[in-house]
Amino acid sequence: MTVHPNPLLAPWTAPFGLPPFDAIRACHFEPALHEAMRQHLAELDAIAAQGEPPTFDNTAAALDRAGALLERVRDVLDVLNASTATPELQAVELAMAAPLAAHDSAVMMHAGVFARLDAVYQDRAALAPEARRLVERLHLDRVRAGACFGPAEQARYAQLMQELAELTTRFAQNVLADEAAFERVLGPDDLAGLPAFVLDAAEAAAAQRGHAPGTRVVTLARSLIEPVLTFAERPELREAIWRAWQGRGEQAGPHDNRPIAQAILTRRLEQARLHGHTSYADYALADSMASEQAAVGRLLGEVWRRALPQAERERQALIAMMRSHGLAGEPAPWDWRYWSDKVRQARYAVDETQIKPYFELSRITDAAFDCAQRLFGITLVPRTDVPLYHPDVRAYEVKDAAGASLGVFLHDNFARPGKRSGAWMSALALQSANRAQPVRIILNNNNFARGTPTLLSLDDARTLFHEFGHGLHGLLSQVTYHRLAATQVAQDFVELPSQLFEHWLTEPEVLRRHARHWQTGEPLPAALLDKLQAAKLWGQAYATVAYTGSALVDLQLHAQTDAAAAADVVGFERETLAQLGMPPAIGVRHRLPHFLHLFGGDDYASAYYVYLWAEVLDADAFNAFVEAGDAFDPATAERLRRCIYAAGNTRAPAEAYQAFRGRAAQLEPLLAKRGLLTGAETAP
């Protein structure tokens, strides 16, 4: 058998069908992508050219199988550019953005295929439920991509998609460039208040960047930024770090994202108008659980109204703490975390430096895996014989309760140069019976600061559980059709499995079992656990306001019906926040010039609200276990697996949730979780 010289196009013979990462080079991607696009279009032409009348099998099911090679190659490029980018890979990503977008438009607007699919769609009532769902999704995908437009509108729409693909790629690369370029070398005056785990992480970051031994640097990894803002006694250091973090994408020069964001918004508005909508928000929300701006606005408005007074109570507590230390004035944004931690220590005697020794990375990873085993029966077994794209990555074979292999899980946990910030789940293969694809290849990326050992904050641990919740959505998916697999669900439903899984981290029995001191192995002391539970509402208003402010800015930005309204995105953000009454000392979680959720792609554009929408669902869903009297109740867990984690997009989101819970979600559990029912944080 002749082996193809391009490893992206040759058969992948590694365990689980993993890519041959050691053989793949940047130069392989462009020819592989062009060949895969050619094959994909040939598959579509064959579907359209059939002599037989259109049926579900020869049209919808065939369409679901088409494009597998292209998807495989694109997924590898996306994974490498997100996790271990090089200038060569980024050049490929930018060069191929427009051709890939043009191909996507050609696929979605393929007249012969759409005519056959539309015929099947018109007769879908007689199909089995999952088949009918596939037809409806495939049809809607194409309608929303311009399949029903006339020739002139299709040509313009395809051009818009190419321009948007290039712009969003540039936006994301600019953020990565700003994050990679910044470092603050810590001098002797900067060290006051910084715990050993922060200093260790700063020294590891310096070593990664080639500094001499003993040097410590702060980079723009959130896992370093937040502890420095929490513990650094020197206000000048906190301010410098905060301004660098907030200023990403907002500096004049080659990485200035302000004009790029404005260009994206202009094209999105034109895209929406081609679909007959007056704003991009109307277009985007039409295919969501919320379905319209008013529903999103009601949720965000209710939470905002309740959170602002509580945030003011938190601010007054910070001011009182500052006065007790002899300081006048008001807390600045770079001061909030520092003084908030002082209040938490005073009220609850909870100090993060006491907690972190019990949250060592490998133990928290074990905790996540153990919870998955107890809930869903799966086990994760380390594998050291598989190809990986970076030495940081750890591989695990995933087995079901009967010992059958489901696939492989890749865990990539550390911040490093060339890796974008944040945390995310991705996939190199999704289970699909129609594609004869039984193996799942699921990845989780985090950006923890490397230490010896790596000690996590409670927020870091939640992030690990959150992403593993997404991972479980991919690993447990059990569907017939690829288009309906795993996380390919409505954007305001996709965060339910991830946010729901976070709840198990702070279950007392989980903490008692897994939160153990990294040196002594002693469990988290009961007294400290009690303090953690007592303090869990402190700081919730700050987090709620920072997040909801970002969501409200996003919604209002994409609700504009005049492109000129957002010609200055920074000015728009400033004016919108002033109108909302955003406390200046809090500020938004994400500034527009580096808001990757909005401008690094379109998944979260006018949809940053989805985390809160899903939190309504996850808070209500976890109450099903509370009502059962057991956080690991087998019957509830099996219903959760079947209706949510395994179901993919085989049912409408509201229907899937109703099947699990027996009713629609209620708002009160979310308000209680965030301490917003009474309007006052629990008294000390």
Burial (CB count within 10 angstroms: exposed 0-12, middle 13-18, buried 19+), residue 350: buried
Residue 211 three-state SS: coil
Provide the greatest CA pair distance for the chain.
85
- Assess contact for 385 and 15: CB atoms under 8 A: yes
Q: Residue 360 gets which letter from DSSP?
A: B
Residues in the chain: 684
Q: Residue 578: which residues within 8 A CB-CB, separation 6 or more?
A: none
d(CA 184, CA 319): 29
Closest among 32, 240, 60 to 133, alpha carbons compared:
60
- Residue 541's φ and ψ, nearest 5 degrees, are -65, -40
- Assess contact for 421 and 82: CB atoms under 8 A: no
- Assess contact for 221 and 449: CB atoms under 8 A: yes
Q: Which uninterrupted H or E stretch holds 473? A: helix 458-475
- Residue 313's φ and ψ, nearest 5 degrees, are -65, -40
- Residue spans of beta strands (DSSP E) within 463-560: none
Tokens of 254: 């080659």
- Residue 406's φ and ψ, nearest 5 degrees, are -95, -25
Bridge partners of 429, per DSSP, are 441
Look up tokens 């948007």; give the residue. Answer: 164
Q: Which uninterrupted H or E stretch holds 427? A: strand 424-429
Q: Are strands 379-383 and 394-399 parallel, antiparallel or unpaired?
A: antiparallel
Tokens of 480: 């017939």
First to last CA, the chain: 73
- Assess contact for 307 and 544: CB atoms under 8 A: yes
Tokens of 663: 């009713």
Q: Residue 665: which residues within 8 A CB-CB, separation 6 or more?
A: 616, 617, 620, 621, 657
Q: How far is CA 144 from the centre of its chain?
A: 23
Give catalytic residues, as residue numbers: 467
CA angle 117, 60, 9 (to 5 degrees): 120
Closest among 518, 365, 512, 398 to 455, alpha carbons compared:
518
- Residue 182's φ and ψ, nearest 5 degrees, are -85, 140
